[in-house]
Amino acid sequence: MSLVNSNNVIALDLQDVQETLFTPLCARADQWGRPDAIVEDKTANELVRRLPYNFEKIRRYPNTLTGCAIRAEIMDGWIRDFMQTNPEGSIGLLGVGLDTTFERNRQFGNVDWFEFDYEDVIALRSKCFATHPKRHLMTGDIFNTAWIDQVKAVGKGPWLFQAAGVLMYLGPEKVNDLFHLLGRHFPGSTFLFDGCSNFAKRNSHRWEATVRTTSAQYHWSIDDPRLLASEFPGLKVTDVEYLMDHHRHQWQLNTRFWSTVLPKLRRGYHISRASFLAGPAE
């Protein structure tokens, strides 16, 4: 069992962008038991039933939930690819929230998992999830590089980092800093991240659950993630997947129609796998 004592009552006190973590959790939880499930996540389902949060306000935006489930499915596949090739490597989950990537994938290798987030989020995780010798909770500012020596003292390369539902809430300068940080200190690493187009960012207040139900806002967007290679020497974007190309039957009917008519809608949300050129770390 990966959850802490299921009889515990968990108090919530999250604000601002931290509150967005409930949306992908709900997305994965609501897939449980469906015959056409995109991702199977019993742990998320159990957690949603325990947490004293109004998930019904999120469920008013089913397209957001479908997109989050697809993101988990695609990133899980890439993580399993990495673990098959690097069973003793290390994985860093940036802005981990209440993600259950560890629960869904730990059996595919013996990697060390490092879960990063704000102190209040990590405190919540510690109340929800049982400890495990391969799981390491990391608090604080990711841009304060003190954590780098800490994780390298425990984890072995190669490294994979995942930022799921993170970059769009950062300012462009912070996104740039993050790419430079990973490329400089973890050469040869893999980076999984998602984002949205300029069109989707401008319209996020119309349909995006995390923007509609919390105080969070989108700040960063890019139409074609492959163009990042020109901004960050040594970065290679090897794969780009568009959410609305997957599991079309689970998107709302009007969304399926308009995304066929309007290519900019269909290409509004994307997930990328990238790698940083191998070389000596600073």
* Residue 209 scores a pLDDT above 80: yes
Residue 233 has a pLDDT of 86
Count of CB atoms situated within 10 Å of the CB of 77: 13
Which pLDDT belongs to residue 282?
Answer: 45
How many CB atoms neighbour CB 239 within 10 A?
Answer: 13
* 159 beta partners: 90
Structure tokens, 240: 């780009």
Select from 19, 14, 13 the least CA-distant residue to 209. 19
pLDDT value at residue 280: 47
- Are 229 and 235 in contact by the 8 Å Cβ rule? The answer is yes
Say how far apart CA 202 and CA 207 lie, in whole Å: 11
Residue among 104, 112, 124 nearest 12 (CA): 124
pLDDT of residue 18: 85
pLDDT (tens digit per residue) in 13-54: 666 788 899 999 999 999 999 999 999 999 999 999 999 999
Q: Confirm if 97 and 20 have CB atoms less than 8 A apart.
A: yes
C-beta neighbour count of 227 within 10 angstroms:
10
Which strand ranges, in their side-by-side order, compose the sheet holding 235-242?
135-139, 112-117, 90-94, 159-163, 190-196, 269-276, 235-242
The DSSP string of 17-84 is GGGGGHHHHHHHHHHTT-TT-SS--HHHHHHHHHS-S-THHHHT-HHHHHHHHHHHHHHHHHHHHHHH
Question: Is it the case that residue 6 has pLDDT exceeding 60?
Answer: no
Average pLDDT over residues 127-151: 93
| Amino acid at residue number 119 | E
Domains of the chain (ranges, CATH numbers) = 16-276 (3.40.50.150)
Residue 166 pLDDT more than 70?
Answer: yes
Cα 221 from Cα 81, distance rounded (Å): 27
